[in-house]
Structure 1
Protein backbone atom coordinates (compact mmCIF):
# COMPACT_ATOMS: atom_id res chain seq x y z
CA UNK A 1 0.00 0.00 0.00
CA UNK A 2 1.23 3.49 -0.76
CA UNK A 3 1.92 5.75 2.24
CA UNK A 4 -1.13 7.77 3.29
CA UNK A 5 0.36 11.20 2.92
CA UNK A 6 0.48 13.86 0.24
CA UNK A 7 3.43 15.61 -1.31
CA UNK A 8 4.27 18.60 0.91
CA UNK A 9 4.13 21.18 -1.89
CA UNK A 10 0.96 20.11 -3.70
CA UNK A 11 -1.70 22.80 -3.19
CA UNK A 12 -4.72 20.79 -4.28
CA UNK A 13 -5.94 17.86 -6.35
CA UNK A 14 -7.75 18.80 -9.56
CA UNK A 15 -10.24 16.36 -11.10
CA UNK A 16 -12.67 17.24 -13.84
CA UNK A 17 -13.67 17.74 -17.44
CA UNK A 18 -12.18 19.97 -20.14
CA UNK A 19 -12.76 23.08 -18.01
CA UNK A 20 -9.95 21.80 -15.79
CA UNK A 21 -7.42 22.37 -18.58
CA UNK A 22 -7.29 26.16 -18.18
CA UNK A 23 -6.67 25.76 -14.44
CA UNK A 24 -3.97 23.18 -15.09
CA UNK A 25 -2.29 25.46 -17.66
CA UNK A 26 -2.39 28.45 -15.32
CA UNK A 27 -0.83 26.43 -12.52
CA UNK A 28 1.93 25.25 -14.84
CA UNK A 29 2.67 28.78 -16.09
CA UNK A 30 2.80 30.15 -12.56
CA UNK A 31 4.78 27.20 -11.20
CA UNK A 32 2.03 26.47 -8.67
CA UNK A 33 2.29 22.79 -7.72
CA UNK A 34 -0.99 20.95 -8.17
CA UNK A 35 -1.84 17.38 -9.11
CA UNK A 36 -4.50 16.23 -11.55
CA UNK A 37 -6.35 17.69 -14.50
CA UNK A 38 -8.93 16.54 -17.02
CA UNK A 39 -10.25 13.01 -16.55
CA UNK A 40 -12.95 12.84 -19.21
CA UNK A 41 -15.32 14.93 -21.30
CA UNK A 42 -17.98 16.58 -19.17
CA UNK A 43 -20.99 14.89 -20.74
CA UNK A 44 -19.55 11.55 -19.57
CA UNK A 45 -19.27 12.78 -15.99
CA UNK A 46 -22.92 13.65 -15.40
CA UNK A 47 -24.85 10.43 -14.81
CA UNK A 48 -23.61 7.24 -13.10
CA UNK A 49 -19.88 7.26 -13.86
CA UNK A 50 -18.44 5.90 -10.60
CA UNK A 51 -19.19 3.84 -7.49
CA UNK A 52 -18.24 4.29 -3.86
CA UNK A 53 -15.75 1.77 -2.49
CA UNK A 54 -15.20 2.41 1.20
CA UNK A 55 -12.97 5.46 1.51
CA UNK A 56 -12.43 5.59 -2.23
CA UNK A 57 -14.30 5.83 -5.53
CA UNK A 58 -13.93 3.64 -8.59
CA UNK A 59 -14.61 5.07 -12.04
CA UNK A 60 -16.66 2.87 -14.35
CA UNK A 61 -14.41 3.60 -17.34
CA UNK A 62 -11.16 1.66 -16.75
CA UNK A 63 -9.16 4.26 -18.67
CA UNK A 64 -10.43 7.07 -16.46
CA UNK A 65 -9.86 5.02 -13.32
CA UNK A 66 -6.22 4.40 -14.28
CA UNK A 67 -5.69 8.13 -14.83
CA UNK A 68 -7.36 8.91 -11.49
CA UNK A 69 -5.14 6.39 -9.68
CA UNK A 70 -2.06 7.84 -11.31
CA UNK A 71 -3.00 11.20 -9.77
CA UNK A 72 -3.47 9.61 -6.35
CA UNK A 73 -0.11 7.86 -6.67
CA UNK A 74 1.53 11.22 -7.40
CA UNK A 75 0.29 12.27 -3.97
CA UNK A 76 1.52 9.14 -2.26
CA UNK A 77 -1.94 7.73 -1.56
CA UNK A 78 -4.02 4.94 -3.03
CA UNK A 79 -7.50 6.08 -2.05
CA UNK A 80 -9.04 9.54 -2.16
CA UNK A 81 -10.26 9.28 1.41
CA UNK A 82 -6.64 9.74 2.53
CA UNK A 83 -6.32 13.09 0.75
CA UNK A 84 -5.11 15.84 3.09
CA UNK A 85 -5.15 18.73 0.63
CA UNK A 86 -8.27 20.29 -0.93
CA UNK A 87 -10.02 18.81 -3.95
CA UNK A 88 -11.13 21.04 -6.82
CA UNK A 89 -13.58 19.29 -9.12
CA UNK A 90 -15.43 20.46 -12.25
CA UNK A 91 -17.70 17.46 -12.85
CA UNK A 92 -21.34 18.38 -13.42
CA UNK A 93 -20.41 21.92 -14.40
CA UNK A 94 -20.65 21.49 -18.18
CA UNK A 95 -23.51 23.98 -18.32
CA UNK A 96 -22.87 24.80 -21.97
CA UNK A 97 -23.83 21.21 -22.80
CA UNK A 98 -26.75 21.01 -20.37
CA UNK A 99 -28.26 24.26 -21.64
CA UNK A 100 -28.01 23.13 -25.25
CA UNK A 101 -29.73 19.80 -24.89
CA UNK A 102 -32.93 19.07 -26.80
CA UNK A 103 -34.86 18.79 -23.54
CA UNK A 104 -35.61 22.50 -23.70
CA UNK A 105 -36.99 22.70 -27.25
CA UNK A 106 -40.36 24.43 -27.21
CA UNK A 107 -40.01 25.35 -23.54
CA UNK A 108 -39.70 28.78 -21.95
CA UNK A 109 -38.75 30.00 -18.50
CA UNK A 110 -41.06 32.99 -18.93
CA UNK A 111 -44.78 32.27 -19.07
CA UNK A 112 -46.02 33.24 -22.52
CA UNK A 113 -48.70 31.85 -24.86
CA UNK A 114 -46.42 30.71 -27.71
CA UNK A 115 -44.41 28.16 -25.71
CA UNK A 116 -44.74 25.71 -22.85
CA UNK A 117 -43.74 27.21 -19.52
CA UNK A 118 -41.18 25.35 -17.40
CA UNK A 119 -41.13 26.37 -13.76
CA UNK A 120 -37.91 26.92 -11.82
CA UNK A 121 -38.83 23.98 -9.58
CA UNK A 122 -39.37 21.66 -12.54
CA UNK A 123 -36.13 22.80 -14.14
CA UNK A 124 -34.27 22.18 -10.90
CA UNK A 125 -35.54 18.62 -10.58
CA UNK A 126 -34.78 17.90 -14.24
CA UNK A 127 -31.22 19.15 -13.84
CA UNK A 128 -30.83 17.19 -10.60
CA UNK A 129 -31.54 14.04 -12.62
CA UNK A 130 -29.28 15.09 -15.50
CA UNK A 131 -26.24 15.47 -13.22
CA UNK A 132 -27.17 12.86 -10.63
CA UNK A 133 -23.85 11.04 -10.99
CA UNK A 134 -21.86 14.21 -10.44
CA UNK A 135 -23.92 15.08 -7.37
CA UNK A 136 -23.34 11.57 -6.01
CA UNK A 137 -19.60 12.04 -6.55
CA UNK A 138 -19.56 15.31 -4.62
CA UNK A 139 -21.60 13.72 -1.87
CA UNK A 140 -19.28 10.72 -1.67
CA UNK A 141 -16.03 12.69 -1.37
CA UNK A 142 -17.56 15.25 1.00
CA UNK A 143 -18.76 12.43 3.28
CA UNK A 144 -15.14 11.25 3.50
CA UNK A 145 -14.30 14.56 5.15
CA UNK A 146 -12.52 16.06 2.14
CA UNK A 147 -12.44 19.82 1.72
CA UNK A 148 -14.15 19.91 -1.65
CA UNK A 149 -14.52 22.78 -4.11
CA UNK A 150 -16.15 23.19 -7.49
CA UNK A 151 -16.29 26.14 -9.87
CA UNK A 152 -18.81 27.60 -12.28
CA UNK A 153 -17.72 27.38 -15.92
CA UNK A 154 -16.96 30.52 -17.95
CA UNK A 155 -20.13 32.14 -19.27
CA UNK A 156 -19.90 31.35 -23.00
CA UNK A 157 -23.39 31.70 -24.40
CA UNK A 158 -24.82 31.67 -26.96
CA UNK A 159 -22.37 29.41 -28.75
CA UNK A 160 -22.37 27.32 -31.89
CA UNK A 161 -20.55 24.33 -30.38
CA UNK A 162 -23.51 23.21 -28.26
CA UNK A 163 -26.25 25.62 -29.35
CA UNK A 164 -26.75 26.56 -25.73
CA UNK A 165 -29.76 28.66 -24.92
CA UNK A 166 -28.73 31.81 -23.02
CA UNK A 167 -31.90 31.84 -20.89
CA UNK A 168 -31.33 28.27 -19.75
CA UNK A 169 -27.57 28.78 -19.37
CA UNK A 170 -28.10 31.67 -16.94
CA UNK A 171 -30.72 29.74 -14.97
CA UNK A 172 -28.51 26.65 -14.81
CA UNK A 173 -25.57 28.63 -13.44
CA UNK A 174 -27.58 29.22 -10.29
CA UNK A 175 -29.34 25.86 -10.19
CA UNK A 176 -26.25 23.70 -10.75
CA UNK A 177 -24.28 25.81 -8.29
CA UNK A 178 -26.97 25.35 -5.64
CA UNK A 179 -27.22 21.59 -6.23
CA UNK A 180 -23.46 21.08 -6.03
CA UNK A 181 -23.31 23.12 -2.82
CA UNK A 182 -26.12 21.01 -1.36
CA UNK A 183 -24.13 17.89 -2.26
CA UNK A 184 -21.24 19.08 -0.11
CA UNK A 185 -18.86 21.18 -2.23
CA UNK A 186 -18.05 24.88 -1.98
CA UNK A 187 -18.67 26.49 -5.36
CA UNK A 188 -16.33 29.22 -6.55
CA UNK A 189 -18.47 31.91 -8.18
CA UNK A 190 -16.21 34.11 -10.32
CA UNK A 191 -18.96 36.10 -12.03
CA UNK A 192 -18.40 39.36 -10.15
CA UNK A 193 -14.88 39.46 -11.63
CA UNK A 194 -15.15 37.58 -14.94
CA UNK A 195 -18.20 39.32 -16.42
CA UNK A 196 -18.44 42.78 -17.97
CA UNK A 197 -21.21 45.30 -17.36
CA UNK A 198 -23.39 43.59 -19.98
CA UNK A 199 -23.10 40.25 -18.21
CA UNK A 200 -20.82 38.71 -20.83
CA UNK A 201 -17.48 37.02 -20.21
CA UNK A 202 -14.69 39.58 -20.51
CA UNK A 203 -12.54 39.18 -23.61
CA UNK A 204 -9.38 38.30 -21.67
CA UNK A 205 -11.13 35.31 -20.11
CA UNK A 206 -12.31 33.78 -23.40
CA UNK A 207 -10.32 30.99 -25.03
CA UNK A 208 -7.90 32.56 -27.54
CA UNK A 209 -8.93 30.11 -30.26
CA UNK A 210 -11.89 31.84 -31.91
CA UNK A 211 -13.39 28.48 -32.87
CA UNK A 212 -13.60 27.51 -29.18
CA UNK A 213 -16.70 29.24 -27.85
CA UNK A 214 -17.08 27.03 -24.77
CA UNK A 215 -13.90 27.24 -22.69
CA UNK A 216 -12.02 29.92 -20.83
CA UNK A 217 -8.50 31.20 -21.41
CA UNK A 218 -5.44 30.55 -19.31
CA UNK A 219 -6.18 33.93 -17.69
CA UNK A 220 -9.56 32.53 -16.66
CA UNK A 221 -7.78 29.50 -15.23
CA UNK A 222 -5.50 31.88 -13.36
CA UNK A 223 -8.51 33.63 -11.89
CA UNK A 224 -9.79 30.33 -10.50
CA UNK A 225 -6.32 29.32 -9.36
CA UNK A 226 -5.90 32.58 -7.44
CA UNK A 227 -9.28 32.09 -5.78
CA UNK A 228 -8.35 28.56 -4.75
CA UNK A 229 -5.03 29.67 -3.29
CA UNK A 230 -6.82 32.43 -1.37
CA UNK A 231 -9.20 29.84 0.07
CA UNK A 232 -6.25 27.63 1.04
CA UNK A 233 -4.04 30.45 2.36
CA UNK A 234 -6.38 33.31 3.38
CA UNK A 235 -4.83 36.76 3.39
CA UNK A 236 -4.62 38.38 6.84
CA UNK A 237 -7.50 40.77 7.44
Structure 2
Protein backbone atom coordinates (compact mmCIF):
# COMPACT_ATOMS: atom_id res chain seq x y z
CA UNK A 1 0.00 0.00 0.00
CA UNK A 2 2.74 2.41 0.94
CA UNK A 3 4.68 1.84 -2.29
CA UNK A 4 1.50 2.25 -4.32
CA UNK A 5 0.73 5.53 -2.53
CA UNK A 6 4.27 6.78 -3.13
CA UNK A 7 4.09 5.85 -6.81
CA UNK A 8 0.77 7.69 -7.14
CA UNK A 9 2.07 10.62 -5.07
CA UNK A 10 -0.76 10.21 -2.61
CA UNK A 11 0.29 11.69 0.76
CA UNK A 12 0.21 9.38 3.77
CA UNK A 13 1.95 8.88 7.09
CA UNK A 14 3.18 5.60 8.51
CA UNK A 15 4.41 2.28 7.23
CA UNK A 16 5.26 -1.21 8.46
CA UNK A 17 5.91 -1.63 12.18
CA UNK A 18 7.21 -5.18 11.80
CA UNK A 19 6.48 -8.56 10.24
CA UNK A 20 2.95 -9.94 10.30
CA UNK A 21 3.88 -12.66 12.78
CA UNK A 22 4.85 -9.96 15.30
CA UNK A 23 1.19 -9.00 15.61
CA UNK A 24 -0.39 -12.39 16.25
CA UNK A 25 0.59 -12.44 19.93
CA UNK A 26 0.75 -9.90 22.76
CA UNK A 27 2.28 -6.82 21.13
CA UNK A 28 0.85 -3.68 22.76
CA UNK A 29 -0.42 -2.12 25.96
CA UNK A 30 -3.14 0.53 26.22
CA UNK A 31 -3.24 3.45 28.66
CA UNK A 32 -5.71 6.31 28.52
CA UNK A 33 -6.02 7.36 24.89
CA UNK A 34 -2.78 5.83 23.66
CA UNK A 35 -0.94 2.56 23.16
CA UNK A 36 2.66 1.48 23.52
CA UNK A 37 4.21 -1.32 21.51
CA UNK A 38 6.25 -3.93 23.34
CA UNK A 39 8.88 -4.11 20.61
CA UNK A 40 11.24 -1.12 20.96
CA UNK A 41 11.67 -0.64 17.21
CA UNK A 42 7.91 -0.77 16.60
CA UNK A 43 7.40 1.75 19.41
CA UNK A 44 10.01 4.09 17.93
CA UNK A 45 8.39 3.92 14.49
CA UNK A 46 4.92 4.41 15.98
CA UNK A 47 6.00 7.56 17.84
CA UNK A 48 7.49 8.90 14.63
CA UNK A 49 4.27 8.23 12.71
CA UNK A 50 2.24 10.02 15.39
CA UNK A 51 4.54 13.02 15.32
CA UNK A 52 4.33 13.19 11.51
CA UNK A 53 0.53 13.23 11.85
CA UNK A 54 0.60 16.02 14.42
CA UNK A 55 -0.78 13.79 17.18
CA UNK A 56 0.62 13.22 20.64
CA UNK A 57 -1.46 10.09 21.22
CA UNK A 58 -3.49 7.62 19.19
CA UNK A 59 -6.75 9.16 20.33
CA UNK A 60 -5.68 12.51 18.86
CA UNK A 61 -5.50 11.25 15.28
CA UNK A 62 -7.66 13.27 12.93
CA UNK A 63 -7.05 10.98 9.96
CA UNK A 64 -8.19 7.37 9.46
CA UNK A 65 -5.92 4.59 10.64
CA UNK A 66 -5.21 1.82 8.12
CA UNK A 67 -3.98 -1.44 9.63
CA UNK A 68 -3.41 -5.10 8.79
CA UNK A 69 -2.87 -6.44 12.32
CA UNK A 70 -4.17 -9.98 12.83
CA UNK A 71 -4.50 -10.89 9.17
CA UNK A 72 -1.22 -12.78 8.79
CA UNK A 73 -3.30 -15.93 8.97
CA UNK A 74 -0.76 -18.03 7.08
CA UNK A 75 1.08 -18.27 10.42
CA UNK A 76 -2.07 -19.50 12.14
CA UNK A 77 -2.62 -21.93 9.27
CA UNK A 78 0.83 -23.56 9.52
CA UNK A 79 0.13 -27.25 8.94
CA UNK A 80 1.79 -28.69 12.04
CA UNK A 81 -0.37 -26.46 14.28
CA UNK A 82 -3.45 -28.43 13.29
CA UNK A 83 -2.31 -32.07 13.37
CA UNK A 84 -3.93 -32.68 16.80
CA UNK A 85 -7.27 -31.48 15.42
CA UNK A 86 -7.37 -33.89 12.49
CA UNK A 87 -8.80 -37.38 12.25
CA UNK A 88 -6.67 -40.45 11.59
CA UNK A 89 -7.14 -40.06 7.81
CA UNK A 90 -5.78 -36.49 7.95
CA UNK A 91 -9.13 -34.78 7.41
CA UNK A 92 -10.92 -32.47 9.80
CA UNK A 93 -14.13 -33.66 11.47
CA UNK A 94 -17.22 -32.48 9.54
CA UNK A 95 -18.04 -28.89 10.39
CA UNK A 96 -14.87 -28.34 12.41
CA UNK A 97 -13.59 -25.37 10.38
CA UNK A 98 -16.89 -23.54 10.86
CA UNK A 99 -17.31 -24.56 14.50
CA UNK A 100 -17.29 -22.36 17.58
CA UNK A 101 -14.24 -24.30 18.80
CA UNK A 102 -12.22 -23.47 15.70
CA UNK A 103 -13.28 -19.81 15.88
CA UNK A 104 -12.31 -19.66 19.57
CA UNK A 105 -8.84 -21.05 18.83
CA UNK A 106 -8.22 -18.61 15.98
CA UNK A 107 -9.51 -15.62 17.90
CA UNK A 108 -7.43 -16.54 20.94
CA UNK A 109 -4.40 -16.59 18.66
CA UNK A 110 -5.24 -13.09 17.46
CA UNK A 111 -6.71 -11.76 20.70
CA UNK A 112 -4.33 -8.81 20.96
CA UNK A 113 -4.93 -7.71 17.37
CA UNK A 114 -8.69 -7.82 17.90
CA UNK A 115 -8.28 -5.93 21.17
CA UNK A 116 -6.23 -3.30 19.35
CA UNK A 117 -9.01 -2.62 16.84
CA UNK A 118 -11.58 -2.52 19.64
CA UNK A 119 -9.50 -0.04 21.64
CA UNK A 120 -8.83 2.30 18.71
CA UNK A 121 -12.41 2.38 17.44
CA UNK A 122 -13.46 3.02 21.05
CA UNK A 123 -11.39 6.20 20.93
CA UNK A 124 -13.52 7.40 18.03
CA UNK A 125 -10.75 6.94 15.45
CA UNK A 126 -11.86 5.67 12.06
CA UNK A 127 -10.09 2.36 11.42
CA UNK A 128 -9.79 0.49 8.14
CA UNK A 129 -8.53 -3.10 8.35
CA UNK A 130 -7.11 -4.47 5.11
CA UNK A 131 -7.44 -8.15 4.26
CA UNK A 132 -4.12 -9.69 3.18
CA UNK A 133 -3.03 -10.96 -0.21
CA UNK A 134 -4.73 -14.31 -0.73
CA UNK A 135 -1.49 -16.25 -0.78
CA UNK A 136 -1.07 -19.56 1.00
CA UNK A 137 2.59 -20.60 1.39
CA UNK A 138 3.57 -24.25 1.18
CA UNK A 139 3.86 -24.69 4.93
CA UNK A 140 0.26 -23.55 5.46
CA UNK A 141 -3.03 -25.40 5.01
CA UNK A 142 -5.35 -23.64 2.52
CA UNK A 143 -8.51 -24.87 4.28
CA UNK A 144 -7.35 -23.45 7.58
CA UNK A 145 -6.10 -20.23 5.97
CA UNK A 146 -9.46 -19.31 4.48
CA UNK A 147 -11.47 -20.44 7.50
CA UNK A 148 -9.18 -18.58 9.92
CA UNK A 149 -9.29 -15.44 7.79
CA UNK A 150 -13.07 -15.43 7.98
CA UNK A 151 -12.98 -15.79 11.77
CA UNK A 152 -10.61 -12.85 12.10
CA UNK A 153 -12.56 -10.77 9.58
CA UNK A 154 -15.79 -11.24 11.52
CA UNK A 155 -14.14 -10.46 14.85
CA UNK A 156 -12.45 -7.31 13.55
CA UNK A 157 -15.64 -6.11 11.85
CA UNK A 158 -17.47 -6.55 15.16
CA UNK A 159 -15.12 -4.00 16.75
CA UNK A 160 -16.41 -1.30 14.43
CA UNK A 161 -13.44 -1.31 12.07
CA UNK A 162 -14.18 -1.13 8.34
CA UNK A 163 -12.97 -4.14 6.36
CA UNK A 164 -11.14 -3.41 3.11
CA UNK A 165 -11.69 -6.49 0.97
CA UNK A 166 -10.40 -6.48 -2.61
CA UNK A 167 -10.68 -10.24 -3.10
CA UNK A 168 -13.33 -9.95 -5.85
CA UNK A 169 -10.78 -8.02 -7.93
CA UNK A 170 -7.57 -9.88 -7.09
CA UNK A 171 -8.42 -13.55 -6.38
CA UNK A 172 -9.39 -16.35 -8.75
CA UNK A 173 -12.06 -19.09 -8.58
CA UNK A 174 -9.87 -21.11 -6.19
CA UNK A 175 -9.85 -18.07 -3.83
CA UNK A 176 -6.07 -17.59 -4.12
CA UNK A 177 -4.34 -14.48 -5.44
CA UNK A 178 -4.19 -14.17 -9.22
CA UNK A 179 -0.58 -14.39 -10.48
CA UNK A 180 -0.64 -10.86 -11.88
CA UNK A 181 -1.08 -9.53 -8.34
CA UNK A 182 1.67 -11.64 -6.72
CA UNK A 183 5.16 -10.47 -5.85
CA UNK A 184 7.61 -12.68 -7.81
CA UNK A 185 9.82 -15.08 -5.86
CA UNK A 186 7.73 -14.48 -2.75
CA UNK A 187 5.08 -16.78 -1.28
CA UNK A 188 3.24 -14.22 0.83
CA UNK A 189 3.09 -10.68 -0.47
CA UNK A 190 1.22 -8.87 -3.20
CA UNK A 191 2.92 -6.70 -5.80
CA UNK A 192 2.56 -3.04 -6.74
CA UNK A 193 -0.53 -3.77 -8.87
CA UNK A 194 -2.19 -5.30 -5.81
CA UNK A 195 -1.22 -2.28 -3.73
CA UNK A 196 -2.77 0.03 -6.31
CA UNK A 197 -6.09 -1.80 -6.07
CA UNK A 198 -6.06 -1.54 -2.27
CA UNK A 199 -5.18 2.15 -2.60
CA UNK A 200 -8.04 2.75 -5.03
CA UNK A 201 -10.44 1.15 -2.56
CA UNK A 202 -9.16 3.35 0.24
CA UNK A 203 -9.48 6.48 -1.90
CA UNK A 204 -13.02 5.47 -2.88
CA UNK A 205 -13.83 5.45 0.85
CA UNK A 206 -12.84 9.11 1.09
CA UNK A 207 -9.36 8.83 2.55
Aligned to 2:135: 156
1:142 corresponds to which residue? 121
Aligned to 1:222: 196
Q: Which residue of 2 aligns with 1:114?
A: 89
Question: Paired residue for 2:109?
Answer: 130
Aligned partners of 2:82, 2:21: CA distance in 1, in Å?
A: 17
Q: In structure 2, what is the Cα distance between the partners aligned to 1:134 and 1:173?
A: 13
Offset at residue 183 of structure 1 (A): 2.3
After TM superposition, give the deviation of residue 52 of structure 1 in Å: 0.9
SS in 2 for 1:35: coil
Q: What displacement does 1:179 show?
A: 1.1
Q: Which residue of 2 aligns with 1:193?
A: 169
Aligned pairs, how many?
A: 203
**Aligned twin of 1:51:** 29
Measured after TM superposition, the shift of residue 199 of structure 1 is 2.8
- Which ranges of 4 or more aligned residues in structure 1 deviate by more than 3 Å? none
Q: Given the alignment of the two structures, is residue 78 of structure 1 paired with residue 56 of structure 2, yes or no?
A: yes
- Structure-2-length-normalised TM-score: 0.92
Q: Distance in 2 between matches of 1:29 and 1:153?
A: 20
So what's the TM-score if we normalise by structure 1?
A: 0.81
**Runs (5+) with no aligned partner, structure 1:** 1-22
Query: Which whole-Å CA distance do the structure 1 matches of 2:38 and 2:175 have between them?
Result: 38
What are the superposed Cα offsets for residues 10-45 of structure 1, whole Å, 9 maximum, x if unpaired? xxxxxxxxxxxxx01000101010111100111111
Give unmatched runs, 5+ long, in structure 2: none
Superposition deviation, residue 106 in structure 1:
4.7
* Greater per-residue helix proportion: 2
CA offset at residue 63 of structure 1? 1.8
Q: Deviations over 1:93-132 (max 9, x none)?
A: 1011111153212534xxx762452352111000111011
Distance 1:39 1:91 in 2: 10
Q: CA RMSD in A?
A: 1.6
